[in-house]
Every structure is written in C-alpha cells, then in structure tokens.
Amino acid sequence: MKAKKNLKEAMSKGEVVIGGYVQTASPELVEIVGHAGFDYVILSSEDTIYDLKDRSEQVYVADTVGLSTICRPPTNDPVFIRRALDFGMDGLNVPMVNTADEARAVVRAAMYPPMGERGLNAMSRPVRYGADFGPGYFEQANDRCLVTILIETKTAVDNIEEIVEVEGIDVVYLGPTDLSISLGVPGEVFHALVQESSKKVREAARRRGVATANVIYNPFDRGEIESRMEEGYGLLSVFLDVQLFRQSCERLHDEVRAALA
C-alpha cells in the first residue's frame, strides 16, 4: 500500500497539492487518478446522487494507491461529516459556508477535542478497528484531517475577514460558478466581479496564513493553470471526471473525423 501525502503538512511547506473531482461512483477512475500521481480526489455527495455507501469502494481503492480522499458533504451537517471521517476519508470540502459561525461548526464536527467536539468510534476504520487507539490518536487525527470550506456567495466574501480567523480552517476554497450566480453574473466565472471577489478572499486568507483553493475549468489550458499558480493557490482541482472524459471524447472524435475526411 502506497503511503499518502499529508496534505496539510505539504501545503505548510509551500507545496501546491493537485487533484480533482470524481463525480461518478467508479472505483476504477479513482484508482487511475492515484496511479497518475495526483495528491487527492474530492468525492461529492452535494451535487450527485451518491451517498457514503456508494463511495465505500472508492475510498478503499484510494488507500491502496496513496490517494487522499476528501468528502464534499451535502450540507454543513455534523452527522454526515463524522460518518465520512469515521469511514476513513482524509478531509472535508464543505459547501456554502457563509459566516464565521458556520465555519466554526465545521471545525467542531471535524476535530477531536480540544479543537472540536467530534466523538470517537475507537473501533472505526481510521483507528484500524481499535489497533491505533490511545492518547496520541486524537492529535494525530487532527493533524491529518484537512478542513476546506467553500466560499460561494457574496455573503461569504463580505464575511471573509471573520471566516479566516476561525481556528481549524485549513483552506478557503473558491466556488466561482455559484459565486458568479450570487454576484448577478451567472456562469461568467472569469467576470471582473468574480475576479475581484476572489482576490479579496485570497488577500484575507494570506494575511491570516490560511491556504486558498480554486478549480481549473479547462484542464487542457496551460495558461489557466499558470494563472492560478501565479495567484498563489495552495490547492488546485484540475479535473472533473465526467468533464475530462467528455472533452477527451470530443477531441478524439474530431481527430478521427478529420482523418477520415
């Protein structure tokens, strides 16, 4: 079994961690992502039909290839968050966090005392069904659990100074699509209003020493990737499985049609 990278530790040393979203419930795609060398994969239950049970084999497979798994819960739900972490996911990608109080609720659910209020199932998978249970486990688990929260609304941007002050938030993650809707320019993810809001979030996070994250909309556009790198993001999501497959199919189709012509 290949060792996973500690994402929090890597980012604290200035490394940019890269991964993306697997929207489907395919364990094979997760395994391929790991073999390709990516650091993490986000498995979403917010905007898909899949629950944690549907994700189980994906998490098992990710562990074998050294790929960290990050759960995107449907809401800021402490029960769902605990279930995901107790099952063995390595972090969170919590949607629609708009206030400091909501950010604190994420930390309470994700972290063991003294940072949070998460209860321990000492016989769960991350504790190796009791083999790793002991006084040192709590700090070790907190040190590995990556807490990212999505900034997706004008309200969240307006409250960003207070949000980044919340202890235990590792990453503020821009959600440009929903942010564009909230700002009145739906779908215009590169609109000046979205860019200005993103810059405000980055600057607030940088002052507090909190990492930032964003998505790449066109994984075949190196310019977009380089632009995000220049903006100083510590975590980048550079693919979405169904989008990547669609784009690859379209490119292949066009190339084959051109050859046939």
Question: pLDDT, tens digit, for every residue of 217-260?
Answer: 998 899 999 999 999 999 999 999 999 999 999 999 999 999 99
pLDDT of residue 1: 76
Mean pLDDT of the region 28-49: 96
Please tell me the distance from the alpha carbon of residue 62 to that of residue 31, in angstroms, as a whole number. Answer: 6
Q: Which of 77, 98, 95, 67 is nearest to 5 (CA)?
A: 67
Number of Cβ atoms within 10 Å of the Cβ of 222: 9
Q: What is the pLDDT of residue 185?
A: 98
Q: What pLDDT shows up at residue 253?
A: 97
Cβ burial of 187 (10 Å; 0-12, 13-18, 19+) is exposed
Distance (Å, rounded) from C-alpha 162 to C-alpha 73?
23
pLDDT of residue 183: 98
State how far the Cα of 143 lies from the Cα of 249, in Å rounded to an integer.
40
User: In this predicted structure, what is the pLDDT of residue 220?
Assistant: 87
Q: If you average pLDDT over every residue of the chain, what do you get? A: 96
pLDDT at 129: 93
Closest CA to 176 of 161, 162, 160, 187: 187
The model's confidence at residue 161, banded by pLDDT at 50, 70 and 90, is very high
- Tell me, what's the pLDDT at 200? 98
Q: How confident is the model at residue 2 (pLDDT cuts 50, 70, 90)?
A: confident
Average pLDDT of the segment spanning 190-212: 98
Delimit the domains of the chain by residue range. 7-260
User: Does residue 16 have a pLDDT over 80?
Assistant: yes
Q: Can you give the pLDDT at residue 46? A: 94
Domain 7-260 sits in CATH at 3.20.20.60
Whole-number pLDDT of residue 242? 96
Fill in the amino acid letter for 165: E
Q: Do 152 and 201 contact (CB within 8 A), yes or no?
A: no
Model confidence, pTM: 0.94
For 68-91, write each residue's pLDDT tens digit: 999 999 999 999 999 999 999 999
For the segment 167-192, the average pLDDT, to the nearest whole number, is 97
Report the pLDDT value the prediction gives residue 238, as an integer from 0 to 100.
97
Per-residue pLDDT reduced to its tens digit, 95-151: 999 999 999 999 999 999 999 999 999 999 999 999 999 999 999 999 999 999 999
User: Mean of the pLDDT values across residues 1-10?
Assistant: 91
Spell 2-27 as b/e; 16+ CB within 10 A means b. eebbebbebbeeeebbbbbbbbbbeb
